[in-house]
Amino acid sequence: MNETAPSPTAPLRARAEIDLAALRANVRTLRALAPGAALMAVVKSDAYGHGAVRCARAALDAGATWLGTATPEEALALRAAGLPGRIMCWLWTPGGPWQEAIEADLDVSVSGMWALREVTRAARAAGVPARVQLKADTGLGRSGCQPGEDWAELVGAALAAEAEGLVRITGLWSHFACADEPGHPSIAAQLDLFREMLAYAQARGVRPEVRHIANSPATLTVPESHFDLVRTGIAVYGISPSPELGTPADLGLRPVMTLSASVALVKRVPAGHGVSYGHHYVTPGETTLGLVPVGYADGIPRHASGSGPVLVDGKWRTAAGRIAMDQFVVDLGGDEPEPGSRAVLFGPGDHGEPTAEDWAQAAGTIAYEIVTRIGTRVPRVYVNEEPGTSTATTTTTTADPAGTATAAGPAVTADTGKRSGT
């Protein structure tokens, strides 16, 4: 979570440009889709690779009122960076920093009795009640308390701790397994069980501030899942949770990250020249090769060797041969772009560049993994950081062949937030 970031014009080896106006517009679009619910921006894993502190601030500027992380360390780092409001974290292990979390006024998730014991002990030591959210497993089969006896025991123990002044049960919550597959029967089944487990806890006297189950795909496609709060991650970053749900544009979203690199070398080679480790690509004729100076250490998936797309000098090229740790090669087919030209691996797509979804398809994975794995060696460059600025789908200039212009024109007119789809 570096607080200093390079300027959009610095001549960098590689950069992940983060368009905070797009992020704010996405948050506004999501809020419009779930008007009765508060919005939690999920900023775990350094905001899916986009930079947690700046993205969290931008999300709050656009009306998110909660931040969510997986680990308590991630949540504590946000608080230490001065982020206000409600911050929830859910991935706890025994011996975790419960007391620090209570003192930082975090909401903590509890899925089982061991966690409730640890949090009540920490609350006693801190002398302040812990904000506890009880998590139900309504069918994901991952974390969360099982329905039936386990839920009865956990709810009973949490109420007893609340009566002692050690915890405040602020939330009841769960998580979907298949919300990205519209109409999957588990969606309705999980909602039914969630309602049942809520009703049980509320009948016993739990008075939660928030009940929540919706992630991005449910926020986009299952309105009856919104309850009091929606927890959106991937959609905040402008990426569709699944191609089945449509493109980002179909959903009124705009991708926030543009990943590009500076072409490091262009050279003419003869026919029959092996390219990169293992010689899995051999030039079919005399051609030119371009060196793209990013590799799997930067999060470029090695599984996309021979298939990953990149826009160079206005044309789509494909990673030729193996993607190495720090670099890969594209066959430029005789073209000779200047060294220093931008090679755009992915971005919103409206300047002809590939998208994170294209890389996901090339690597046999999901776009979540593509953006999240972009490594710390790639500087994040923030554009449109001021809340007043907005971004227009038609005027950003991410594909800049000379590699010299400002990456995205700040403060242009159109507001993508007004395109909120339904």
Ligand X SMILES: *Cc1c(COP(=O)(O)O)cnc(C)c1O
List binding-site positions for substrate: 142, 325
- Binding to ligand X (CB under 6 A) within 89-148 occurs at 90
Where does this chain touch ligand X (CB under 6 A) — which range of 124-132, 229-237, 355-363, 390-398?
229-237
**Least Cβ distance, residue 64 to ligand X (angstroms):** 13
The number of CA neighbours under 13 Å toward the Cβ of 383 is 26
Q: How far is CA 72 from CA 75, 99, 118, 222, 225, in A?
A: 5, 11, 14, 29, 26
Nearer to ligand X, 29 or 215 (CB): 215
- CA proximity to 349, closest of 412, 241, 255, 417: 255
**Least Cβ distance, residue 232 to ligand X (angstroms):** 5
Q: Distance between CA atoms of 233 and 183, rounded to whole angstroms?
A: 21
**Residue 115: left if φ>0, alpha if ψ -120 to 50, beta else—which one?**
alpha
* One residue of 64, 234, 310, 356 binding ligand X per CB under 6 A: 234
233 binds ligand X (CB under 6 A): yes
CB 43 within 8 A of CB 93: no
277 is catalytic: yes
Residues counted in the chain: 422
Where does this chain touch ligand X (CB under 6 A) — which range of 193-201, 227-235, 324-332, 341-349?
227-235
**Least Cβ distance, residue 176 to ligand X (angstroms):** 9
**Least Cβ distance, residue 44 to ligand X (angstroms):** 6
Nearer to ligand X, 216 or 305 (CB): 216
Nearer to ligand X, 25 or 42 (CB): 42
* One residue of 29, 232, 305, 361 binding ligand X per CB under 6 A: 232
Backbone angles phi, psi at 50, to 5 degrees: -95, -10
Backbone angles phi, psi at 167, to 5 degrees: -135, 160
The pair of three-digit structure tokens given for residue 51, joined into one six-digit string: 């930079």
| Catalytic entry in 48, 200, 267, 277 | 277
- Binding to ligand X (CB under 6 A) within 241-270 occurs at 241
Q: How far is CA 104 from CA 84, 90, 101, in A?
A: 10, 15, 5
**Least Cβ distance, residue 66 to ligand X (angstroms):** 11
Q: Distance between CA atoms of 67 and 55, rounded to whole angstroms?
A: 10
CB 408 within 8 A of CB 16: no
Residues 6+ apart with CB under 8 A from 209: 170, 171, 228
Where does this chain touch ligand X (CB under 6 A) — which range of 181-189, 200-208, 234-242, 274-282?
234-242
- Binding to ligand X (CB under 6 A) within 22-51 occurs at 42, 44
End-to-end CA distance of the chain: 34
Instruction: Give the residue ranges of the annotated binding site.
Output: 142, 325
CB 259 within 8 A of CB 344: yes
The pair of three-digit structure tokens given for residue 61, joined into one six-digit string: 């500027």
44 is catalytic: yes
384 binds ligand X (CB under 6 A): no
Q: Count Cβ neighbours within 10 Å for each residue of 10-20 and write b for 16 or more, e otherwise.
A: eebebbbbbbb
**Least Cβ distance, residue 399 to ligand X (angstroms):** 27
**Least Cβ distance, residue 219 to ligand X (angstroms):** 7
* One residue of 50, 79, 131, 175 binding ligand X per CB under 6 A: 175
* One residue of 29, 99, 216, 372 binding ligand X per CB under 6 A: 216
Residue 288 DSSP class = E
**Least Cβ distance, residue 179 to ligand X (angstroms):** 8
- CA proximity to 112, closest of 95, 137, 140: 137
Token pair 């640890």 is found at 118
| Catalytic entry in 44, 237, 281, 296 | 44
Where does this chain touch ligand X (CB under 6 A) — which range of 230-238, 254-262, 263-271, 326-334?
230-238
Q: Distance between CA atoms of 131 and 121, rounded to whole angstroms?
A: 13
* One residue of 86, 231, 317, 380 binding ligand X per CB under 6 A: 231
Q: Distance between CA atoms of 106 and 121, rounded to whole angstroms?
A: 16
Where does this chain touch ligand X (CB under 6 A) — which range of 24-32, 193-201, 225-233, 244-252?
225-233
Q: Distance between CA atoms of 78 and 76, rounded to whole angstroms?
A: 5
Tell me whether strands 107-110 and 287-292 are parallel, antiparallel or unpaired: unpaired
Nearer to ligand X, 194 or 296 (CB): 194
Nearer to ligand X, 66 or 346 (CB): 66
Where does this chain touch ligand X (CB under 6 A) — which range of 14-22, 195-203, 228-236, 327-335?
228-236
**Residues binding ligand X: what is the number (CB under 6 A)?**
13
* One residue of 138, 215, 242, 396 binding ligand X per CB under 6 A: 215
Residues at the site binding ligand X, with contacts judged by CB under 6 A: 42, 44, 70, 90, 175, 215-216, 231-235, 241
Q: Which residues are catalytic?
A: 44, 277
